Structure 1
Amino acid sequence: MPITIMGDKEFESVPSIKSKALRINLNQNIYGTFAEIGAGQETVRNFFRAGGASGTIAKAMSAYDKDFSDAIYGIENDKRYVTEARLKKMLKHEVKLIEQRITREKHPNKLFFSYANTVATIDFAKKYKGHGWVGIRYQTKPDEDYNEIILHIRFHENDARLQQITLGILGVNLIYGAYYKYDNPKKLLRYLYDHLDKDQIEIDTINFSGPRFTKVDNRLMSLQLVKNGMTEAVMFGPDGNNVLPAAILYKKNILALRGSFRPVTKVNMDIYKTSLNMFLNENKVNKDKTVVIFEITLSNLRAEGEIDEEDFMARARLLCSLGQTVMISNFKEYYKVVEYFSNYTKERMALAMGVNNLVDIFDEKYYRHLSGGILEAFGKLFFKDLKVYLYPLHNQKTDDFTTSDNLKVHPRMKELYKFFKYNGKLQDITDYDPNIMDIFSREVLQKIQDGETGWEDQLPDLIPEMIKANNFFGYKNIEETIE
């Protein structure tokens, strides 16, 4: 069992930052170092001020000079300093030093830790608000391997001093949570915002590792970030792991496909392949600088009721297994997706969707909260040559196809629709596979849940096997059920 750290009772009210720092300081076993670069020693300052810090702080430092920093931690391949790689080097280096300098024979019960951050606060021109990496490497038992909690933050305040104060509060919350809430990572995550507002700072990536977090799925923790409003979107790479959105989107051409993907079907992949071919033929779209994002919005998931986290995980895992990058967002409207991407790139963007989804885009009710209404939304949606690629809808009864040419929108929207269509903003996908037009995710899902057969052929290769092996979407092996 982990060493008891002054008990682990819940506070009836949120403890102050001073109280948190003092509780850490008064524990005779917690002992470590602070290395903070880019915003002053704002976290450790709280521990010094709380009192009793001599029993907690082995060393506090800020290697501000780049040459000095490189001499201590080494030079990064990309020559950058505000990176996850730099943070991890800082954490490992400082832990190694404390183990070399503090002997276990003399201090058998010490719980070593290293807290570090490397950040860039807002610039003088106030053009870039700043971001950073924050983390802790620590023990909960003296003879235990180290745990790590690493997160990426984006500042939203417009004053460097305020950002420094915010970072200091976040640091105390992280250290406190690491020691007193590690057994409940979801709570630990929420407590990171104690005495902070989500308008002050955003956490868009978090990863837990180590013996205390062997059962933690970092993708599910990322979902918590979106559910709790700590960030607007998180991303998973083709390997299924969390990835920093900026690392994927920065200065890239972006093609986005929104859907429920419950499950991903051959139609979804046909939309992907055909729209990507069209996008790569656009002017100034370099294949090597192009990314495709499969987006699932929690807005739609909430419409289905309480979010089923395992169901969400199934969708993400299936898409990642197909080599795709997945984004989970809080965006209800498409224009917000485009706005989000524009934070990271000024290159070309495109959306691919079924014709039926375009009807929703031209529905005024989704824009009543905007002072400029639908015109304001469309101004944000179609800026900078954004294209929308439309996948036709097949009517099985009449054998007709709905395209941008015969799509019916509300009479008040007709002229606006014509404007975008005849200015080349809307383009029909013509190179589609007519043999799979009648596949719908909701029908496949129903067959899976009802224990029917025949749905396998409607999904991409290997996806049916994954669904069966993992019992995704309520799948039950019929033979096992009979037995």
Structure 2
Amino acid sequence: MSLIKQKLTPKQKALAINLDSNIYGTFAEIGAGQETVRHFFRAGGASKTIAKAMSAYDKEFSDAIYGKETQNRYVTQNRLRKMLRYEVALIEERLSREDHPGRRFFSYANTVTTINFEKTFKGHGWAGVRFQRDEHEGYSEVVIHVKFKENNTTLQQETLGNLGVNLIYGAFFYNDNPRRLIESLYDDIALDDLEIDMIDFTGPAFEYVDNRLMSLQLVKNGMTDAVIFNPDGKNMLPADMLYRKNIFAVRGSFRPVTKVNIDMFESGLKVFREDTGCTPENTEVLFEITISNLKGDGDIDERDFLDRVDVLAQLGYTVIISNFSEYYRLIDYFSTFTGHKIGIAMGVNNLLMVFDENYYKNLSGGILEAFGKFFRNDMTVYLYPYKDPETGELLDSNNLKVNDNLKELYKYFKHNKRIKDIKFYNPNYSEIYSREILKKIVHAETGWENQVPEGVAEMIKDKGMFGYKEEVSLREFT
């Protein structure tokens, strides 16, 4: 009979850390978060763990310790990392390693703002831990960004306290299993209480951790709806990237990315910029992959996921992984960050799915509610034509067929230029289909190389992406 391992409570975790005489560090909590260290004091044996606990609540006093912040912003990742590193340096300066052999030092910090009095802003913050696995090893860090969902300041503070304990415990006891560490962050916390929309692992303890895979876990586990990382593979905070920006996005499987994908993106973006007058400086361009697309018929294949994003990164694109199967949810998400222009490039088949009522049965307002969220903030669809492989007919906004009861609604959006055809596209790409390319790659056939962007074929072959096996292809020559 197998035994189910029971999750420890925050008090039990704090006590386990307190009882380890080699774990020793400081707590620095500014802003509204003052609850984490309380667990360690109450658990007992804290004198063996806590070197110092401080709350630099006043901005001027905080500035005197950690330095001033640009633009007077204190709830930032930069502020948090300053706190973590300052406190660890202070421990190293004041405590002799010779007098404290075996000690593994750490610093925990958070900087948060909770819900406002009017309850129009629920609050957010940063929390992190800097720690050693071994006294002779350098420091590693785990940093997270959280968004509060509860409607009460006290509840938010208690949730943050539990999260802090989970984070410290996970750093010391689950550093060899980052996925377990991420899951443990919600021990004694409901998903409805807190959202974690960014996580970053650095240092020798996580030398082989790919932060893109860790971001994927957040979406996969329902901890957030979307994560973003730049071409360098660095996790980005959505609020920082998208705030008051124009946004242009293209959704796809990108398995692999083809010349059609790039033509749709480039030609659609050109029209979007002409329509809006936006510039590269005030516009974010995103390639979106949904979790449902990654899952396919089963669980997520992480190698396949990395193959897709590695190719997009090589081409210099920023990737968003989302839990938004329906397009209106993606637009609704973007609209939480910006009131500026939003453009979506899509193919004819995707637009037909948007006008399929079966996707909106879960909404009380049905398709009208979905369209109210989809065509908001002057959101415009830039439609890429599709050549039917059976009939050879080229489909665009003028000849695609929607259900009879939606024809007038479709005409309304088209008449008001919320659906625009991409007219200047490359017709030579009309018979490129990613599924056919993938079949050829898997079976080591030729003829697909000129259907993907320059350099992509070489990358796929060199790294054995998407199931490509060089030794299979060599059989043709033996």
Q: TM-score range by the shorter chain?
A: over 0.9
1:362 to 347, 355, 367: 355
d(CA) in 1 for partners of 2:106, 2:196: 22
Q: RMSD across aligned C-alpha pairs, in angstroms?
A: 1.5
Instruction: Report the more deviating stretch, 76-85 or 362-371.
Output: 76-85
Amino acid at match of 1:176: Y
Q: Confirm whether residue 24 of structure 1 aligns to residue 14 of structure 2.
A: no
d(CA) in 2 for partners of 1:156, 1:44: 22
Q: Deviations over 1:314-338 (max 9, x none)?
A: 1111111111110000111000000
Q: Confirm whether residue 464 of structure 1 aligns to residue 457 of structure 2.
A: yes
Task: Indicate the residue corresponding to 1:206 in structure 2.
Answer: 199
Q: After the TM superposition, which residues 150-189 of structure 1 pair with which residues of structure 2 at under 5 Å, given as runs?
A: 150-189=143-182
Give 1:288 deviation, angstroms. 2.0
> 2:445–2:473: 8 Å Cα contact kept in structure 1?
no
Task: Indicate the residue corresponding to 1:402 in structure 2.
Answer: 395
State the TM-score, normalizing by the size of structure 1: 0.95
Amino acid at match of 2:417: G
Amino acid at match of 1:225: L
Q: After the TM superposition, which residues 80-99 of structure 1 pair with which residues of structure 2 at under 5 Å, given as runs?
A: 80-99=73-92
d(CA) in 1 for partners of 2:241, 2:306: 20
d(CA) in 2 for partners of 1:66, 1:234: 31
Q: Helix, strand or coil: the match of 1:261?
A: coil
Q: After the TM superposition, which residues 3-402 of structure 1 pair with which residues of structure 2 at under 5 Å, given as runs?
A: 12-283=5-276, 285-396=278-389, 398-402=391-395
d(CA) in 2 for partners of 1:384, 1:233: 20
Q: Deviations over 1:72-96 (max 9, x none)?
A: 1112334311111111111110000
Q: Helix, strand or coil: the match of 1:385?
A: coil
Give 1:300 deviation, angstroms. 2.3
> 1:319–1:326: 8 Å Cα contact kept in structure 2?
yes
> 2:211–2:233: 8 Å Cα contact kept in structure 1?
no
> 2:444–2:473: 8 Å Cα contact kept in structure 1?
no
d(CA) in 1 for partners of 2:29, 2:389: 63
> 2:33–2:111: 8 Å Cα contact kept in structure 1?
no
Give 1:478 deviation, angstroms. 4.0
Amino acid at match of 1:67: E
> 1:240–1:321: 8 Å Cα contact kept in structure 2?
no
Amino acid at match of 2:278: V
d(CA) in 2 for partners of 1:105, 1:480: 61
Show structure 1 runs of 5+ residues with no match.
Answer: 1-9
Q: Helix, strand or coil: the match of 1:46?
A: helix
d(CA) in 1 for partners of 2:227, 2:33: 28
d(CA) in 2 for partners of 1:33, 1:384: 47
Q: Helix, strand or coil: the match of 1:294?
A: strand
Q: Deviations over 1:252-282 (max 9, x none)?
A: 0001111001000111010111111111112
d(CA) in 2 for partners of 1:77, 1:470: 42
Task: Indicate the residue corresponding to 1:4 in structure 2.
Answer: none
Q: Deviations over 1:359-397 (max 9, x none)?
A: 111111100000111111011111121100100011355
d(CA) in 2 for partners of 1:406, 1:479: 44
Give 1:124 deviation, angstroms. 1.6
Q: Helix, strand or coil: the match of 1:260?
A: coil
Q: Deviations over 1:417-454 (max 9, x none)?
A: 11211121110000001111111111111110010012
Show structure 2 runs of 5+ residues with no match.
Answer: none
d(CA) in 2 for partners of 1:481, 1:74: 61
Give 1:287 deviation, angstroms. 3.8
> 1:94–1:114: 8 Å Cα contact kept in structure 2?
yes
Q: Helix, strand or coil: the match of 1:326?
A: strand
Amino acid at match of 2:242: L
d(CA) in 1 for partners of 2:98, 2:342: 60
Give 1:481 deviation, angstroms. 5.3
Q: Deviations over 1:39-64 (max 9, x none)?
A: 24210011111111111000011111
Amino acid at match of 1:233: A
d(CA) in 2 for partners of 1:219, 1:213: 13
Kindly, what percent of the aligned residue pairs are identical? Answer: 58
Q: Deviations over 1:198-218 (max 9, x none)?
A: 111111111111222111111
Instruction: Report the more deviating stretch, 27-36 or 64-73.
Output: 64-73
d(CA) in 1 for partners of 2:394, 2:380: 21
Q: Helix, strand or coil: the match of 2:37?
A: helix
d(CA) in 1 for partners of 2:437, 2:389: 17
> 2:114–2:123: 8 Å Cα contact kept in structure 1?
yes
